[in-house]
Amino acid sequence: MFLFSGSHRAGPKDLMDTPANMDWLGLLDKVRKGLMVRTDSREILPGEVFVAMPGVRARGADFIADALARGAGYIVSARPVKELINMGLGSPSSLVHHPDPPEALGRLAKAFFNTEESSLKLVGVTGTNGKTTVSYLVEHLLAASGLKVGVLGTVSYRWPGFSLNAKLTTPGCWMLHELLFNMEQSDVDAVVMEVSSHALDQNRVAGLAFDAAVLTNLTQDHLDYHKDMESYFRAKERLFRHCPKPDKTWIVNFNDPFGRRLLSNGRDQVLGFGLGEAGLGEVPVMQGEILSSSARGLVLKTAYKGKTWEVESGLIGAHNASNILAAQAVAFSLGLNCRNTKRISEFKGVPGRLERVENPHGLDIFVDYAHTPDALANVQRSLRDITAKRLIVVFGCGGDRDRTKRPLMGQAVADYADVAVLTSDNPRHEDPLKIMAQARPGLTSSPRSGSMRIVEEPDRYAALVLAVGLMEPGDVLLVAGKGHETCQQIGDEFLPFSDVSALRRALEETR
């Protein structure tokens, strides 16, 4: 039933694996035998390898002297060996030139952890919204079919018997290979990985060979880093065009304009998914139709290669119908069938993704991670369908992040909410009041703004107490932005804060 036979082919040979660079080949052999590799000069122990990585805030090349002073036996750098010697940084025996240090690190990690011989099936999921939900759904479907599954994503890095809270959606290259090695040792069959645009741009996935790559969608986010949408798309596109295997399946949302660009490339190994008609000619597609949508969830009809079937889910909204289609497409690419996808009905949901806060008062309260304009619009659209009276939305904008999306988030709330409660999210190193001021114009830019009540409270807990106190029977409350997170970052401090726990406290205080 499953396509899990045979060994995992290694990716293309590293561009420096040639007899012309025996230093590199010799270093690979030493690392394969256990020589440790570091990217932080402060961690170097005598004899170890230091890879001088490019950086956003600091360059590894600037720390070569420190690494050597701490006893580094080898330096891998993009700078020519002669240049480093002339600068007094190392000797011919300690310097190894590589034009692409992130790629070199991936190759060294493969050698150290022997991940080039891995039999794991690896699925990469990228996109602005939906990555976490899709990864959870795929995990559920594969596990329900008898496979042992690992997940690397925004919430945690985990497999049966192990779980570690995630600090980054996609961890660093060395840690990725270490985690995959440990999964292999634990007899994991398949891994689902959320792959962020930052990780792709920085090539943290170097050395990994994906069997399937998924694009959920692409909407405005991270433009503080990528600067424009085209650069953002190019970063996401790397998962499909630059990461081995060359014959991996591209699983792409045909409802998304950027997704359609990927689907029009003429490859054989593509599978589109989406709601409604695709209009993509000969491109194979998995099409969905929502038969019913309510507070109880969805009934989704799916058509693929002449077959149709229905799945039920407790997930709410059209955006989750799209996520279910993506997960089904992944399952099919790995050898499952429509009978297996019926197990979606048993899926209980994702922490912080339209998570219902149960309470003895019968109030409809949801927490969601939505922190982009598109995500806010999607979850509000879904909740409007189940709102008998008012939709109350608590939201804020993160500090040290894309400032141009702040008024757009305000406008997204104004387009759907009856009551908007503007508060603080993770202000980080910015003034919360200034962040709120930048979101405020969006709240008054919608045709619905005149009928919407706007409340501002910079203290997030006080804002939740206020929002719960405003609720009347039939209202729906959405608390957006932090989702599963258990801390709020203010300056350099990470203060304990869970929206779900805070809402339960607020209910005790106000009801």
Contact between 214 and 252 under an 8 Å Cβ cutoff? The reply is yes
**Residue 56 pLDDT > 80, yes or no?**
no
Indicate whether 14 belongs to any domain: no
Looking at the structure, do residues 491 and 413 belong to the same domain, yes or no? Answer: yes
Indicate whether 53 belongs to any domain: yes
* 5 confidence band (pLDDT: 50, 70, 90): very low
Domain boundary among 64, 97, 112: 112
Indicate whether 7 belongs to any domain: no
**Residue 200 pLDDT > 80, yes or no?**
yes
Looking at the structure, do residues 297 and 202 belong to the same domain, yes or no? Answer: yes
Q: Across residues 466-486, what is the average pLDDT?
A: 96
* 17 confidence band (pLDDT: 50, 70, 90): very low
**Residue 83 pLDDT > 70, yes or no?**
yes
Question: Pick the residue with more confidence: 266 or 457?
Answer: 457
**Residue 61 pLDDT > 70, yes or no?**
yes
Q: Determine which of 2-16, 247-261, 470-484, 491-505 has the lowest per-residue pLDDT on average.
A: 2-16
Looking at the structure, do residues 65 and 96 belong to the same domain, yes or no? Answer: yes
Q: Where are the beta strands (DSSP E) in 31-128?
A: 37-38, 49-51, 74-77, 95-97, 121-126
- pLDDT at position 203: 95
Indicate whether 3 belongs to any domain: no
Looking at the structure, do residues 241 and 336 belong to the same domain, yes or no? Answer: yes
| Average pLDDT for the chain | 92
Indicate whether 11 belongs to any domain: no
Q: Determine which of 9-18, 252-261, 282-291, 499-508 has the lowest per-residue pLDDT on average.
A: 9-18
Contact between 132 and 351 under an 8 Å Cβ cutoff? The reply is no
Going by the DSSP 8-state scheme, the letter that residue 316 receives in this structure is: -
- What are the helix (H) ranges across 123-209? 131-144, 173-185, 197-201
Q: Across residues 66-73, what is the average pLDDT?
A: 96
43 contacts: CB under 8 Å, gap ≥ 6? none
Looking at the structure, do residues 60 and 133 belong to the same domain, yes or no? Answer: no
Going by the DSSP 8-state scheme, the letter that residue 14 receives in this structure is: P
- pLDDT at position 92: 87
Domain boundary among 346, 376, 393: 346
Looking at the structure, do residues 293 and 206 belong to the same domain, yes or no? Answer: yes
**Residue 45 pLDDT > 60, yes or no?**
yes
Q: What is the pLDDT of residues 401-431, one digit of tens each?
A: 999 999 999 999 999 999 999 999 999 999 9
For 504, the domain range is 355-510
Indicate whether 185 belongs to any domain: yes
Total structural domains within the chain: 3
Question: What does residue 377 show for φ and ψ, rounded to 5 degrees?
Answer: -65, -45
CATH code, domain carrying 151? 3.40.1190.10
Looking at the structure, do residues 97 and 132 belong to the same domain, yes or no? Answer: no
Indicate whether 141 belongs to any domain: yes
Q: Determine which of 4-18, 223-237, 257-271, 287-301 has the lowest per-residue pLDDT on average.
A: 4-18
Indicate whether 17 belongs to any domain: no
Contact between 485 and 498 under an 8 Å Cβ cutoff? The reply is yes
Which tokens belong to 386? 């189940």
CA distances from 205 to 14, 409, 423 (A): 14, 31, 36
Looking at the structure, do residues 130 and 101 belong to the same domain, yes or no? Answer: no
* 319 confidence band (pLDDT: 50, 70, 90): very high
What's the order of all strands across the beta sheet hosting 37-38? 37-38, 49-51, 74-77, 95-97
Q: Across residues 278-303, what is the average pLDDT?
A: 93
Domain boundary among 325, 346, 367: 346
Please give the Cα distance from 263 to 276 (Å, whole number).
16
Please give the Cα distance from 73 to 48 (Å, whole number).
5
* 492 confidence band (pLDDT: 50, 70, 90): very high
**Residue 21 pLDDT > 80, yes or no?**
no
CATH code, domain carrying 410? 3.90.190.20
- pLDDT at position 93: 86
Looking at the structure, do residues 302 and 177 belong to the same domain, yes or no? Answer: yes
Looking at the structure, do residues 120 and 243 belong to the same domain, yes or no? Answer: yes
Please give the Cα distance from 363 to 505 (Å, whole number).
14
Crossing angle (nearest 10°) for helices 373-384 and 406-414: 10
Type of residue numbered 455: V
Please give the Cα distance from 242 to 193 (Å, whole number).
16
- pLDDT at position 3: 38
Peptide bond into 245 cis (omega under 30): yes
Please give the Cα distance from 445 to 410 (Å, whole number).
9
**Residue 214 pLDDT > 50, yes or no?**
yes
Looking at the structure, do residues 407 and 335 belong to the same domain, yes or no? Answer: no
CATH code, domain carrying 58? 3.40.1390.10
Percentage of the chain exceeding pLDDT 70 = 95
Q: Can you tell me whether residue 221 is helix, strand or coil? A: coil
**Residue 18 pLDDT > 70, yes or no?**
no
Q: What is the pLDDT of residues 427-474, one digit of tens each?
A: 999 999 999 999 999 999 998 988 999 999 999 999 999 999 999 999
Looking at the structure, do residues 491 and 360 belong to the same domain, yes or no? Answer: yes
Which tokens belong to 84? 């480093």
**Residue 184 pLDDT > 60, yes or no?**
yes
